[in-house]
Structure 1
Amino acid sequence: MNNKPLLFNLLIAGMSLGTAWAIRGQFGHEQAAAWAGGIGGLAIVLLSRRTDWYAKAFQLTLASAAGWGIGGIISYGKVVGYARGLDFENVYYGFLMLLIIGGLFGLVGGGLFGLTLASSRQKPVKWAQLLTEMTTGAILFYYFLIEELGWLMTPPRSEAWAAGVGMTVALFWYMIRHKQHSAIRLAVFAGLGGGFGFAFGNFLQVMGSVSGIKFNFWNVMEYSIGFFGGLGMAYGTFTSEWEKSEETVSRKNLIAPIVILTLVLPFVVWDQSFETQRLVETIQSFSETADALGVVKYVKLLALLLVLAFSSFSLYWFYFKKRTEFIELQQKELQLFFFSYLGLSTIYSLLITCAFMSLYRIEQYLYIVNIAAIGFLINKFDSHFSQRGLNVSRWVVNFIFILAFFAILTAVAISTHGELKGANVRFE
């Protein structure tokens, strides 16, 4: 079997979510994680070359956004610091907890994306029931793990990871009951990718700090989460069997996802991130003579106008311009939306860091290089699907291998440095 198309499609999916997740680092929180997750999901839809998936492209993008965005509630700043320590116990603990946190990002993101892929008129997903079960699971697991057992991962920070575990368990219980095997496989590999990417990315960050190279290695860690998470989500998608669904979609079913994706999420990012004081301090950090307040005024206005313009155009193009009740969405228009959506987040990153005024944040321009590479590759290869089923025993072996791999990385990490800035201690 020729694996070249699959490998390149995995690479493109990884680069798409990796770039978006690295950009997400400028904003943080759930809304930016959702924006990045949506970009990753849409990339896979485009790589699939399936017209029935084009029909529900916006629903799939929204599902991926919601799933990856949920993980944004989890605090991980102190956990990253554990892996910068000096003793094996704390560092290994830090890597394993990042494996869990990143895994939760991918498990929920991949699970909701997979269920949306599998949903059809003949076998619809009962979304109200699923969301109720996930909410209940979040409450029960948080109460039991945190309030009763006192299993604290990141004291004194938020322990929202426990709610994430509850949502994940409820999600998998739903998929198991309804025999959504392809969605299960997709979720598992997205979780493995996200978890591995987070822990491995932090190892790269530690090594980068030790190297003394002047670069934003925190952003390398963020890129790693997205790259391996996107790769895993794509692998789970392309190695599973999916029933064919409708190739048309009702226009009215596009309004809500388009508004949420193009207006609500970017507007919340704008509202929460483009703070005057933050922007002024950023400009003054590299230029004491610039009219910081004057620049900030125009930066904030431009960022807001870009959101309004993009959302308005998206609604016009995909809703008002279409005249029939049921429409077919084309690859070219979805691809234009994808690059516009990713491009808007990139512009936001350049604006929030004021990198358009200085080269002090060189990684900002690497996003543009990544987008250019994605644009060059995205139409080069056809999609290839195979059915590899659920192989739980192999997954367990692979997970044990990952645990051993990070034990080795822990030994390497603690042998390469002394005390590092930002190191935290979980166990005295």
Structure 2
Amino acid sequence: MNDVPPRQIVLVDDDDDLRAAMAQTLALAGYQVRSFARSVDVLDAVDGNFPGIVVSDVRMPHMSGIDLFQALQARDPELPVILVTGHGDVPMAVDALKAGAWDFLTKPFDPDGLISSVGRASEKRLLVIENRRLRAMVDNAVPSPLIGHSPAIERLRDMVATLADTNIDILIEGETGTGKELVARMIHQRSQRASAPFVSIACAAVPDAIAETSLHGESLAGRAPLEGRLTRAHQGTLFLDDVDQSGPALQAHLIQFLEDRLVRPVGAREPQPVDLRVIGCMARQGQVAPIQPALLYRLAAVRLHIPPLRERREDIPLIFAHLLDAAARRFRRVLPPVSRAILAHLLDHDWPGNVHELARFADRLTLGLEQEPALEDGSLLPLDDRLDAFERMAIIDAIQSVGGDMGKAIATLGLPRKTFYYRVRRLGIDLRKVRGLDT
């Protein structure tokens, strides 16, 4: 992908020769320059979403560069404005600098100095725009705990909606930190059992010696009855966390229960039926051992797979933006900016701990405990893959920000219609789902 748009500059100077020379210098440096002879005309060309910067002379008729700076700052305080001054205007420019102007250059100035100042301002502006885009993605995201627009997460959301109102047992598979319990709770909360308990069993923590009591409870003479987990989950959902790590005794009792749905408290005379749904989860996708086949096939009427983050990298910035927002609220801190190095790290790192690891990274960044990440040798994605992920998110964000109006989205992105639809096809974007038409 070599069609990344150039960085934009609005250049204002009433001196035709100087304006033309500066425009040529900036264009040769790779910038896209729009030139104006009057400050007032800039107000119609630059709004709060302008992705570039402004370079303006100070002394101009009708509206000075200082007046222009103040008007632009009122629209967008984060828009970098570089002022070009004569020697007599330096005190005025210094005051503007204190008020928020990005920089000032004194005539005559070195072209390299202009390029250097413009380069720093453009980097800052791109970072501001990217952070705003991430914030907009958070605000406009699909109202679901399953965050993202990748095909895999779209399918998973569809499956959750389909399965919620059934009573079928489910096995959820996924690596650590992918959100298996989150999906289980979503299914429970969207089902007709939502008002009943969601009871979780950490299967790896149940010793064989107490497996029967833990599940069924006990009813022994001379002792207070002990209610088991199966009874507590009556009319609700029983969640078997890490069922593949349960011991032989617990697995044997689960197999029996899944077969007849009867509770057998230790010491009780007769078993009692219970009405509940069972959702299990395991990390070892596709591996039967160490879970007994009889348990696996009784539990796994439906198998849901949650993909790891490395298989849906295009979702990572949006998930991270949500986590960062939540961390800032939780710690009562100002939302930290996301630098370009951090954005690159989000897409380059494999995130073996998945969302859990990503959440801890967001916590550290919010608390100021995370240094600018260094990219790991050998871990970089190809540049095209990273740009594809960003482009896909930008297209989806543009469509959703205008309520699915394709004409407005294409105009926002500044793409020819044919190019837009070509990229949509190449990136595998489902326009019906993005526009909310496929319900």
Considering fraction of residues, name the structure with more strand: 2
Structure number with bigger Rg: 2
TM-score, L = length of structure 2: 0.20
TM-score, L = length of structure 1: 0.21
Considering fraction of residues, name the structure with more helix: 1
